[in-house]
Structure 1
Amino acid sequence: TQFSQPAIFTIEYALAQLWRSRGLEPCAVLGHSVGEYAAAVVAGVLPLDDGLRLIAARGRLIAEKCEANVGTMSALFAPEQAVKQAIEKSGVSTDNVAIAAVNGPKMTVISGRKEAVDKVAEAAGVTSRPLTVSHAFHSPLMSPMLDDFRAEVSKAPLGGLLKVPFFSTLLGKEVSAEDLAKADYWVDHVKYAVRFTAGMEALEAAAAPAVFLEIGSTPTLIGMARRFLTRKEARFLASLDAKATPDERDAVKKAGVISAKQLEAIRLHCPARGRGSHEPLGCSNKKFCCCLGSSGWYNMHLLLRADGSLTLVYYV
């Protein structure tokens, strides 16, 4: 985790900047777990250097202060309330297990000591899937690193203005720059649950994005979100997908989805801007949203045809 957390941040930030270089700006951002660090930088509330420093400190302190290989995480195919009841039924101490994420109406992740997680999963009596992790993230087992991490957070200039709305998966709602400037927010973020469902539902209600774009190495978040978001006209797009066929047809399909969903087609054909340019590019009607998860089009150039449709040049 000492290396994976800053690596995840770097991939997400790089992908976000790549999309921006192609003329796309988000109407809102939302991050899942460590994805909130990249989201905070993209939204403007946290400088890039400090975002990278904080996520590196987070991973390092977890590795140094928290026990490895004694905890685990498991996804239970059950509502949050049912999992809370299973925790009570199991008799396991809440010091040893906790709800770590609510990823859907019937998808709840628990985290804690292995024996405690196993007991809760058994008490729940539902299908479960163990997660491959080094630590019991978002659980009381993170407590040993919190004081040291608070000291790191206190050094960060968390007073930037939000350039786009920020939907928190710690609180499950839209938050202000003042909320994100509090050290408590980022300390609680380590220990408490990821409320992905509530955050996405709040985002959908407030912004009604036409396109949800996942900024990460795998299309995990959009796979979960499309199961419970209600607007059928919304489209879900992954920046990277290792399982997808990396051919031109897939890239053209992605371009078509974006251009068809109220983005400015005339902007999409622009090549990357040089450094120092701050001309606003991207979506019309504020209908584009990016979601950053805990995980490009480097050689592509969109071209606008005379009939208004998009084609794509792929450099090999």
Structure 2
Amino acid sequence: MSLTSYSAVVRRLVVSPGPAHEQRAQSVASAAAVSAVLRAFGRPPGDLPVRTVVHIGAAALDPDLGPEHEGFTVRTALTPGRALRQAHRELAEGRADFAMVAGFGEPDPHTITVYALKRAAEAVADADRVLGVLDVTGADEDAVPPLRPLYHGHRATAPERHRLLLWSGRDEDDEARVRGELLPLLSGLHSEAFPALPTAVPCGTPPGPVRGAAVAVAALAAGTVHKAKAVRADRPRPVALLFPGQGSQHTGMARGLYRREPVFTAAVDAVLSHMGEEGARIREDWLTTGEPRVPVDDVRRAQPLLFAVDYALGRMVIGWGVRPAALLGHSAGELVAAVIAGVVSLPDAVAMVMTRVREAVRIPAGGMLAVAASETQMRPYVNADVAVAAVNAAQQVMLAGSAGPLAATEARLRADGFTVVTVPATSPFHSPAMAPASDAVEADYRGIAFREPALPLYSGYTGALMRPEEALSPRFWARQITDTVHFRPALEELVAIEDVLLVEAGPRQTLTAFARRHRAVRLGASAVCPLLPARGGTAEADRQSVLSAAARIWTEGHDLDMDAVSRLWTWSDEEDAAPSAGAGAAGRREPAPALRS
């Protein structure tokens, strides 16, 4: 079930203005009351999303209360019920990203109930604690809408699916003891019970520094656990997320996670919902096993879909309880990093992607080439029509340009003995040919509210840590269409600050390959781990790859939210995996326990 049409309550607080025994007059909604609402949940107003709207439902309004307060839009309604419905409509129509609703006289005449609302899909993607979703189907506009449990998927514990087994000990002997107790259990366990085993053992105690992990199906679990190597993880390296850009896409990328992992599914749905009708067409082309309407390498599919997949993977890892220490995106992947870092809201970032796409298709066809060479070696081959599009590694650069000039350059390179690979792209991004698109994009970006990064964000366009003035500049984001991507220098600076575990949140392992060439990774100071397979495969291969990445993060020494990780083999929203009509209460779907308060 898609959550994109629902509004979720993620916070609720009932306030009593005075002692219960006192006789109190009706509370009046005033500017002071709006200030209290903005701070009701202990967050300073500056931490709220830019597009936060305050809705006041009150019969008595201070005549001096204006339509804006402390930089936030204020809307009023005669009753709490009307205010909640008003907030729901505004969220559903994309005119706000967050709503604070104050119901004066709710639930009784002398109390005020304050609600925090988000679109339900984004609340799940952000790993918020959802108290329930508003049921606005009632005809009475004045009645407070009831909260319904969040129903999103159901249990799906098929024993043939891969799952993750984690264990640990205080030292090597303790780890051997725990493993020794686990093995007989796996050997004698009925396969139907395999998915229900705890994710990590021993249960109920903090994990130790000596850790083991196995990804297996029921029939091979005992052997896989027996062969797994224990790792001492006293000082885990912080996690840095890498987000690839165009050229990494392939048919069916990450399709095996959709409707089989709740955060990933909700995040993809949230992104596509902000694309309107085009989002539905993009999803259909992505999920089809036949011929898509628009090929995946076309910019109209590659960039929006890559943004959705990268973003959903990043949210999934964060949902495991991993807080990234740094972010680095390649080309269009930098926009995903910007959302995770809090520079731009998800709806605004999606609008930025779609603007790039709209303007890119107006540029004459072009493409990109990957060349096994240094930037210096490419100087004789660049000109007014062909430019260095990206510097990815010491001996790996990309060229871009219009179709004709780029074809002539490719012929020269091959004749001169260079190894050249055509990058799957139909537009000449990061070349002078995109200048008209960049100018048009900048005009659109001037209406977007940017913020300084809340997390360290390394930019491929400067090859360094993004400065506040860059993050806030529409021109900075617009010129990314034409400018060279300096991925190698940005990675160089990132790993120079401290040793990290790089996790690539995207398809094809393109950035993983670049990172493995870096000296810090080759020497073992830093490490890199991809989330998805290097090439398209089965749906189960996608899940197995993600589970292997979770195992890698665990053995690095990071503690994981075990309930969140276990959803990869205990949750589904696929129709063919739904309970039969004879199961439970007439086949009624049960809410996923981890997603219901």
TM-score range, shorter chain: 0.7 to 0.9
Deviation for aligned residue 1:106: 0.8
1:246 corresponding residue in structure 2 = 541
> Is the counterpart of residue 216 in structure 1 residue 506 in structure 2?
yes
8 Å Cα contact 1:76-1:121 kept in structure 2 = no
SS state at 1:2 partner:
helix
Q: Distance in 2 between matches of 1:297 and 1:34?
A: 31
What is the TM-score with the length of structure 2 in the denominator? 0.42
Q: Structure 1 residues 218, 136: CA separation in 2 closer, same or farther (over 3 Å shift)?
A: same
Deviations 1:129-180 (A, max 9, x none): 122321111111111212211111101101x232210100011111123211
1:225 matched residue in structure 2:
515
Partner Cα separation in structure 2 for residue 248 and residue 108 of structure 1: 31
Q: Could you list the runs of 5+ residues in structure 2 that have no partner in the other structure?
A: 1-298, 571-597
Q: Does 1:199 align with 2:490?
A: yes
Contact kept, 8 Å, 1:27 with 1:207, in 2: the verdict is no
Taking the TM superposition and a 5 Å limit, the aligned residue runs for 1:48-59 are: 48-59=346-357
Tell me which amino acid in the other structure corresponds to 1:148.
Answer: A
Identity %: 27
Whole-Å separation in 1 of the counterparts to 2:433 and 2:311: 28
Q: Which position in structure 2 is the counterpart of 1:258? A: 553
Equivalent position of 1:135 in the other structure: 427
**From 303, 308, 314, the counterpart of 1:16:** 314
Kept after mapping to 1: 8 A contact 2:329/2:337: yes
Instruction: Tell me whether 176-185 or 96-105 shows the greater mean CA deviation.
Output: 176-185
Bigger CA drift: 26-35 or 134-143?
134-143
Larger-gyration structure (1/2): 2
Corresponding position of 2:374: 79
Query: CA–CA distance in 2 between the matches of 1:133 and 1:248?
Result: 27
How far does the alpha carbon of each residue in 1:26-71 deviate from its partner, in whole angstroms, 9 at most, with x for none? 10000001001100000111111111111111111111x2112xx2
Change (3 A) 1:118 1:262: same
Q: Compute the displacement of 1:269 (Å).
A: 3.6
Q: Which residue of 2 aligns with 1:286?
A: none
TM norm structure 1: 0.77
Q: Over aligned residue pairs, what C-alpha RMSD do you find?
A: 2.3
With over 3 angstroms needed to count, the CA separation of the structure-2 counterparts of 1:72 and 1:22, relative to structure 1, is same
* Local SS of the residue matching 2:436: helix
**1:2-151 correspondence to structure 2 within 5 Å:** 2-63=300-361, 65-68=362-365, 71-87=366-382, 94-124=383-413, 125=416, 126-151=418-443
Deviations 1:10-41 (A, max 9, x none): 11111111111111111000000100110000
Inter-partner Cα distance in structure 2 for 1:297 and 1:109: 39
Compare relative contact order (CA 8 Å, sep 6+) and give the higher one, 1 or 2. Answer: 1
98 and 252 in structure 1: CA distance in 2 versus 1, 3 angstrom threshold: closer
CA contact (8 A) 2:367 2:403 kept: yes
Please give the secondary structure, in 2, of the residue aligned with 1:138. Answer: coil
Quickly say closer, same or farther: Cα 1:52–1:262, change in 2 above 3 A. same
- Distance of aligned partners of 1:254 and 1:132 in 2 relative to their CA distance in 1, 3 Å threshold: closer
Per-residue deviation, residues 212-271 of structure 1 (Å, max 9, x unmatched): 1111122111112111242432332222223587298756543332122232x2xx1442
Task: Name the SS for the 1:148 alignment partner.
Answer: helix
Report the more deviating stretch, 38-47 or 7-16: 7-16
User: How big is each residue's C-alpha offset from its partner over 1:253-304, in whole Å with a ceiling of 9 and x where there is no partner?
Assistant: 43332122232x2xx14424xxxxxxxxxxxxxxxxxxxxxxx985248xxx
Structure 1 equivalent of residue 477 of structure 2: 186
Equivalent-residue separation in structure 2 for 1:247 and 1:217 (angstroms): 10
1:287 match: none
- Which letter maps to 2:310? E
- Aligned counterparts, 1:255-294, within 5 A: 255-263=550-558, 265=559, 268-272=560-564
Q: Structure 1 residue 157 and structure 2 residue 449: aligned?
A: yes
